[in-house]
Amino acid sequence: MKKNSRIRSGQDAPVHAASLREKMVDNLELPKDLMLGAAILTVTGRKEALISNYKGILEYEDSFIRVQTKNCRIRITGAHLAIDYYTNEEMRITGYIENIQYES
């Protein structure tokens, strides 16, 4: 008897460790910022942004700021942007925020 050698789409594909980790965190209802190191971006209106869990400042100009996080880069564009303060864990950006973009 001949075995069926067809592979069903998606069933035999390798699972990435990151997506498996995300599924575990979701199922166990654990905080993603702590378990995955995900950045938290809190925006208040168009004048203030608070970024937690960032790794570093890549570029800093009056019209844009690029920040590296564990999983991506965040680019904030606008006018009169300034970093009011930063610690190892968080930073506050003020000014007129026009756009927030996530880069790979």
**Residue 36 in this model has a pLDDT that exceeds 50:** yes
Residue 23 lies in a domain: no
Residue 93 domain boundaries: 38-103
**Inside any domain, residue 12:** no
The pLDDT tens digits of the residues spanning 55-100 come to 999 999 999 999 999 889 999 999 999 999 999 989 999 999 999 9
What are the distances in angstroms from CA 5 to CA 1, 8, 15, 45? 12, 10, 21, 57
Examine residue 22 and state whether it is found in any structural domain, yes or no: no
Q: What is the number of structural domains in the chain?
A: 1
pTM over 0.85: no
Residues of the chain with pLDDT > 90: what percent? 56
